[in-house]
Amino acid sequence: MKQIVFVCLGNICRSPMAEFVMKNLTDQYQIESRATSNWEHGNPIHQGTQKIFQKHQVSYDLTKTSLQIKDKDFYDFDLILGMDENNVADLKQMAPAGTEHKIHLFASESVPDPWYTGDFDDTYRRVLAGCEAWLDQLARTEEFDR
């Protein structure tokens, strides 16, 4: 089964939102999320993101806590999706040689950080649209399944 990881700065707002929205849309991929930083290490999903899950009946794992991405993840995951351009730039800096091709921007319009904007509804709209777009693209991309 192909493995996908969503990555943001803290792994408490955007990337866990993408992880559980995607898990609610498909069971075809193994899906996780990570942080580029260790700032929130061990902390639970932000209340704002949890409220969005409850509002939209997205089931999620209460025990999920922030984890920083590590070298092994770059080898293990097939697709590494940064939620904004800074995340992608940081991931490219961190990637062990030969794994950079797995890193992509989650959506052409990057997902603004609700940690700063406070707008988790806007985040949800973008996350849902982005997840649906990836599912479409993955279904079409033979290369991914080779």
- Active site residue ranges: 8, 14, 113
Using CB under 6 A as the binding criterion, the count of chain residues that bind ligand 4NP stands at 11
Collapse the DSSP code of 34 into the 3-class scheme (helix H, G, I; strand E, B; otherwise coil) and give the result. Answer: strand
Q: DSSP for 64-108?
A: -B--B--HHHHHH-SEEEESSHHHHHHHHHHPPTT-GGGEEESSS
**Among all residues, whose Cβ is closest to ligand 4NP?**
10
Cα 106 from Cα 136, distance rounded (Å): 13
Q: Which is nearer to ligand 4NP, 2 or 51 (CB)?
A: 51
Member of 5, 6, 11, 34 binding ligand 4NP (CB under 6 A)? 11
SS (H, E, C) 127-140: HHHHHHHHHHHHHH
- Binding segment toward ligand 4NP, per CB under 6 A, in 6-14, 18-26, 57-65, 72-80: 6-14
- Shortest distance (Å) from residue 103 CB to ligand 4NP: 16
30-69 residues in contact with ligand 4NP (CB under 6 A) are: 39-40
Distance in Å, CB of 43 to ligand 4NP, minimum: 8
Rounded Cα distance between 43 and 78, Å, is 26
Write down the least CB distance from residue 49 to ligand 4NP, Å. Answer: 8
Question: Considering the complex, what minimum distance in angstroms separates the CB of residue 65 from ligand 4NP?
Answer: 12
How many CB atoms are located within 10 Å of the residue 37 CB?
15
Binding segment for ligand 4NP (CB under 6 A), chosen from 2-10, 57-65, 98-106, 137-145, is: 2-10
DSSP-derived 3-state class of residue 8:
strand
